[in-house]
């Protein structure tokens, strides 16, 4: 793996040699202890993480809103020979509300997911979608940048998730914030 293309805080998994999801290191250290081999995952906001998730899980569907990231994902999947999932992509700029439905139309309706990773665009709406998806059988929601300064502060999202116990993993030594640092959080629904 060419580590020269990594960005700040990214790292390589020492077991499989793939770029780990760009989530906090404490969260990644914890989730690498989970057995994901029988899990189906929906990842919203892919990137270098897609190959890693596919190497660990039974099935991974990825929703991406950047064709540039789509190209990177395809390259990583082809290099690692991972085909246990689907990739859906449409170039959709963040915050363009009249195109939100196009994003949600990419989400497959033929799969029951065990884990939903919320990263990328329309995060509040994805949390609501995930809660609806897990309404009858439960599951796990993972959200990166939860209530993080300069990235994603959403009182509505905080209220929405307040009924569930949060498991929060802050990144040590992260300084680009005003009191609300980078963290990855998850909830068992």
Tens digits of residue pLDDT in 102-119: 999 999 999 999 999 999
CATH for 3-188 is 3.40.50.150
Band of residue 4 on the pLDDT scale cut at 50, 70, 90: low
Report the pLDDT averaged over residues 97-104. Answer: 88
- pTM, two decimals, is 0.93
Structure tokens that stand for 140 in this block: 């796990």
Give the ranges where 106-147 is alpha helix by DSSP (H): 123-133
Residue for token pair 């990739």 = 87
- d(C-alpha 73, C-alpha 1), whole Å: 14
Report the pLDDT averaged over residues 124-150. Answer: 95
64-93 pLDDT per residue, tens: 999 999 999 999 999 999 999 999 999 987
Report the pLDDT averaged over residues 41-65. Answer: 96
Mean pLDDT, the chain, whole residue set: 93
- d(C-alpha 10, C-alpha 13), whole Å: 10
pLDDT at 89: 95
Band of residue 95 on the pLDDT scale cut at 50, 70, 90: low
């Amino acid at each position: 793996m060419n580590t020269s293309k990594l960005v700040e805080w990214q790292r390589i998994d020492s077991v499989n040699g793939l770029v780990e999801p760009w989530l906090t290191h404490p969260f990644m250290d914890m989730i690498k202890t989970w057995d994901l081999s029988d899990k189906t995952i929906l990842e919203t906001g892919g990137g270098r993480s897609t190959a890693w998730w596919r190497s660990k899980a039974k099935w991974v569907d990825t929703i991406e809103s950047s064709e540039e990231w789509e190209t990177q994902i395809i390259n990583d999947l082809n290099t690692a020979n991972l085909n246990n999932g689907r990739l859906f992509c449409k170039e959709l700029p963040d915050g363009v509300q009249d195109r939100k439905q196009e994003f949600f139309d990419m989400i497959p309706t033929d799969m029951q997911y065990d884990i939903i990773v919320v990263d990328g665009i329309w995060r509040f709406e994805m949390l609501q979608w995930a809660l609806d998806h897990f309404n009858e059988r439960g599951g796990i929601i993972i959200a990166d940048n939860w209530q993080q300064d300069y990235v994603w502060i959403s009182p509505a999202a905080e209220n929405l998730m307040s009924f569930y116990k949060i498991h929060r993993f802050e990144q040590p030594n992260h300084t680009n914030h005003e009191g609300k640092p980078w963290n990855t959080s998850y909830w068992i629904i």
